[in-house]
Amino acid sequence: GLVPDAAGDLRGKRILITAGGTREPLDPVRYLGNRSSGKQGIALATAAHLRGAEVELITASVDETLPNHVPGHGVQTAAELQRAVHEALPRVDIVIMAAAVADYRPVQVSETKIKKEERGDTLTLELEKNPDILAGLPALSRPEQIIVGFAAETSRDREHLLELGRAKLARKGCDFLCLNAVGWNDGFGADRNTVIILDATGTIVGEASGTKREVADAILTAVTAG
């Protein structure tokens, strides 16, 4: 109910959405992953499609069924996600990075299963930083393209959340940041979400609390206004 009479308002807009969480392999049977379900990204793709946008969806290990009529493909690692985003970037108007990207990947991927008999009582993994896909987009995009990031933060209160969000916005250089508070039980995997949408100056330009679909509509409205 957040966008009355909105059907068709995004006609002509091409939107790239990433959803889910990347997985970084350790060996042929194991990976480092995160708790992103992909629900918010998929809700964004569904909402944008129903509002008339041309949507491309890149998914990383989502548990959800993908929306019909939305072209997309799956990736596993952050490096694969980066390649897919860079490939699609020239043909879209808006990029929404809803995917949770692994910050680090194992320096070495074992060709064979890691065996505990060959290791001691502790196992140390050496990790290296993945590229920051979102932070790299402003330099690769055209000025009229709109880049939207997400930030999931564990925070004490609203002011602290906003402080973390504004600092992240400055580091990323994106046009909008959708901020949400997460904890062990909130955000990831849930059917509802609460976000604060900041523009590039850190000003609050939208807020929504509701189903992930309602939150998706509020985000789409905020980032396409004006």
Residues taking part in catalysis:
34
Residues that bind ligand CTP (CB under 6 A): 78, 97, 99, 101, 103, 130, 132-134, 149-152, 168
> What is the smallest separation between the CB atom of 76 and ligand CTP, expressed in angstroms?
14
Between helix 39-50 and helix 212-224 the angle, nearest 10°, is 60
Nearest distance, CB of residue 134 and ligand CTP, angstroms: 3
199 is in an annotated binding site: no
**Does 186 participate in binding Ca ion (rule CB under 5 A)?**
no
Cα gap 144→142, rounded to integer Å: 6
CB closer to ligand CTP out of 51 and 168: 168
Known binding residue 13? Answer is no
Beta bridge partners of 179: 151, 196
Q: Which of 64, 80, 93, 103 binds Ca ion (CB under 5 A)?
A: 103
Residue 81 — φ and ψ, nearest 5°? -65, -45
By residue count, the chain amounts to 226
For the chain, strand residue ranges (E) read 14-20, 24-27, 30-32, 54-60, 72-75, 94-97, 104-106, 127-129, 146-153, 176-181, 192-199, 204-211
Q: Are 36 and 21 in contact (CB under 8 A)?
A: yes
- The site partner of 78 among Ca ion, ligand CTP, none (C-beta below 5 to 8 Å per kind) is ligand CTP
* 103 annotated ligand binder: yes
Q: Shortest Cβ distance from residue 130 to Ca ion (Å)? A: 9
Residue list for the binding site for CTP? 103, 113, 131-134, 150, 168, 172
Residue list for the binding site? 103, 113, 131-134, 150, 168, 172
